[in-house]
Amino acid sequence: MGTLYDYFFNSGPFLKARKKIFEDVDIKANSQILFVGVGTGADLRFIMGKDISVTAIDLSPEMLGRAKNQYYSPNVTFMEMDAQNLTFSPESFDMVIANLILSVVPDPNQCFQEMIRVTRTGGRILIFDKFAPPSRELPVMKKILRPVVALMGTDIGRHFEQIIMPYEKQIRVEEDASALFNGMYRKIIVRKHQT
Ligand SMILES: C[S@@+](CC[C@H](N)C(=O)[O-])C[C@H]1O[C@@H](n2cnc3c(N)ncnc32)[C@H](O)[C@@H]1O
- Report the pLDDT value the prediction gives residue 147, as an integer from 0 to 100: 86
Report how many domains make up the chain: 1
Q: How far is the CA of 35 from the centre of ligand 1 (A)?
A: 10
Q: Letter for the amino acid at 145?
A: L
**Residue whose CA is at the smallest distance from ligand 1 atom 12:** 37
pTM for this entry: 0.93
pLDDT tens, residue order, the chain (195 aa): 557 767 777 778 889 999 999 998 999 999 999 999 999 998 999 998 889 999 999 999 999 999 999 999 999 999 999 999 999 999 999 999 999 999 999 999 999 999 999 999 999 999 999 999 887 778 888 888 888 888 788 888 899 999 999 999 999 999 999 999 989 999 999 999 987
d(CA 56, CA 94): 14
Spatial CA neighbour of 187 closest among 126, 122, 101: 126
d(CA 150, CA 95): 29
Q: How far is the CA of 142 from the centre of ligand 1 (A)?
A: 22
171: containing domain: 2-192
N- to C-terminal Cα separation, the chain: 42
CATH number for the domain harbouring residue 133: 3.40.50.150
Spell out which residues line ligand 1, taking CB within 6 angstroms.
Answer: 9, 37-39, 42-43, 58-60, 63, 82-84, 99-101, 104-105
- Report the pLDDT value the prediction gives residue 163, as an integer from 0 to 100: 96
d(CA 9, CA 21): 15
What ligand 1 atom has the least distance to the C-alpha of 154?
1
Scanning 25-107, the segments in alpha helix (DSSP H) are 61-71
